[in-house]
Amino acid sequence: MKPKFYLLLLLALIKLAPAGAQSKWVLRTEKDGVTIYESEVPGSKIKALKVIASFNATPMQVGAVIMDVKAATEWVYRMRSSILIKRVSPNELYYYSEVNLPWPAANRDFVAHLTLKQNPETKVVEIDGPAVPGLMQQKAGIVRINNSVGKWIITPVGINQVQVEYTLHVDPAGSLPSWLVNSFATDAPLRIFKNLRVELEKSAYKNSDLLLSDN
């Protein structure tokens, strides 16, 4: 083999290593058409989650709901505020959010970078939403989340039918009681996906083929 080929092969293996090192997904619960899996993450005490459910919608309708961050408090579990910081394009934006946690835990907040892309052939929509540092000054009494990786994969499976897969791994920062972490791992995905089903019925998204604008 030529040296250039060896270099390309090495780079490919390095890129694939983190995914290969992740533990297998294990079923956590299944309820109301929502299936939740969990997985160990090397170097973290917090498990990753994968949530799967089907919806009567198009990929871009689901994408429009997710990218409409101003309305996120209406369907995302315990989200106290959701503020658009900057819209780069219809498919890319930055937003700030505060999550309301029960006493005695302090609320958490984060800044996320959402980017949407759609495969022109398969029509699959992917939305990445990692937490990013900066852009919003930290607030007293609120713990800032700086390490969070979330991804939506919205796959058409029929006429106005999609399968939605959401994966998430969060370092909540600071200390949280185990009962609260376990509660969020089950309750939050179930409530979010239940609320998403209702949100998709709203007229603002029902006939959406394009993402919402700032207006």
pLDDT cut 70: percent of the chain above it: 83
Average pLDDT over residues 68-94: 95
With contact defined as beta carbons under 8 Å apart, do 112 and 92 qualify?
no
Weakest-pLDDT range from 105-114, 121-130, 201-210:
201-210
Q: What is the reported pLDDT for 209?
A: 60
Beta strand spans in the chain (E): 26-31, 34-39, 48-55, 79-89, 92-99, 108-118, 125-128, 143-144, 147-158, 161-171
DSSP notation for 54-96: EESS-HHHHHHHHH-GGGGGGTSTTEEEEEEEEEEETTEEEEE
pLDDT bucket at 186, cuts 50 / 70 / 90 = confident
Average pLDDT over residues 177-186: 69
Q: Taking the domains of the chain in order of start, what are their residue ranges? A: 24-206
Q: What is the reported pLDDT for 20?
A: 36
Weakest-pLDDT range from 86-100, 108-122, 194-208:
194-208
pLDDT (tens digit, 9 = 90+) per residue, 151-174? 999 999 999 999 999 999 988 777
pLDDT (tens digit, 9 = 90+) per residue, 83-99? 999 999 999 999 999 99
What is the C-alpha to C-alpha distance for residues 195 and 208, in angstroms, rounded to an integer? 18
Of the two residues 4 and 96, the one the predictor is more confident about is 96
Task: Give the residue from 167, 142, 164 showing the smallest Cα distance to 155.
Answer: 164
Q: What is the reported pLDDT for 179?
A: 64
pLDDT bucket at 41, cuts 50 / 70 / 90 = confident
Q: Amino acid identity, residue 171?
A: D
* 22 pLDDT more than 60: no
pLDDT bucket at 61, cuts 50 / 70 / 90 = very high
Average pLDDT over residues 194-207: 90
Query: What's the predicted TM-score (pTM) here?
Result: 0.83
Domain spanning 24-206 has what CATH number?
A: 3.30.530.20
Q: How many CB atoms lie within 10 A of CB 53?
A: 21
With contact defined as beta carbons under 8 Å apart, do 53 and 62 qualify?
no
